[in-house]
Amino acid sequence: MTSSPALLIRGAIVVNADAETRTDVLCVDGRIAALGERAAREAPAGTITLDGTGQYLLPGGIDPHTHMQLPFMGTVTQDDFFTGTAAALAGGTTSIIDFVIPNPQQPLMDAYRTWRGWAEKAAADYAFHVAVTWWDQSVSDDMGTLVREEGVNSFKHFMAYKNAIMCDDETLVNSF
C-alpha cells in the first residue's frame, strides 16, 4: 500500500469547540501528527507544505443520516455511495452514517453484506445504522455478530411506515 506524502499546513486558523488558534498542522498517513511548533520540526522529508495563512482549518463533518442508493417503497434514492460521498467531500463532510434496511424477514447479516458491497465504492469514510424491522432469535444473534465482528454500534427502530418497516411493540421491546 502506497502512503501519501505528509502534509504541513502553516499558519491556519484552527477551530475547535472553545477556541480559534493560528497554528501549523502536520498530517502523516491521513492523521494529525503534530500541532504548533512541533509540526514543522517533525515534518518528514518530502512533506508537502501549504500556506494556510488567513484560512480556517476545520475538522471534517460527519453526516449521521444518509440514504445512499436506498431501495424504498418502489424507488431508489438518487445518490449511490460514490456520487453521494463525493458530493459530501466537496462540501467538507468526510464521513457518513448510512442506513441498512433489510427486506421483510431478511436476515440482518445478509442486508448488512449487501450495503457493505455497495459501499465499497464510497469516496469517504462510512458507518451504518442497521434497521431492526422484525424479530426472532436470528435477529438477536445477528445484532450480536454485527456488534462483535463488524463494529456496528447503532440500530434503528422505525416508528413510521406501518405495514412496511415500522417496528411493532414486540420487536421494539425484545430488541432492547
Domain architecture of the chain: domains with CATH: 7-57 (2.30.40.10), 61-175 (no CATH)
Which residue, chain included where needed, has cell 480556517?
56
Q: Tens digits of per-residue pLDDT, 81-132?
A: 999 999 999 999 999 999 999 998 999 999 999 999 999 999 999 999 999 9
Q: Which pLDDT band, with edges at 50, 70 and 90, does 1 fall under?
A: very low
Q: Which residue from 35, 23, 27 is spatially nearest to 7, judged by alpha carbons? A: 27
Triad 19, 58, 9: Cα angle to 5°: 100
In tens, the pLDDT along 34-44 reads 999 999 999 99
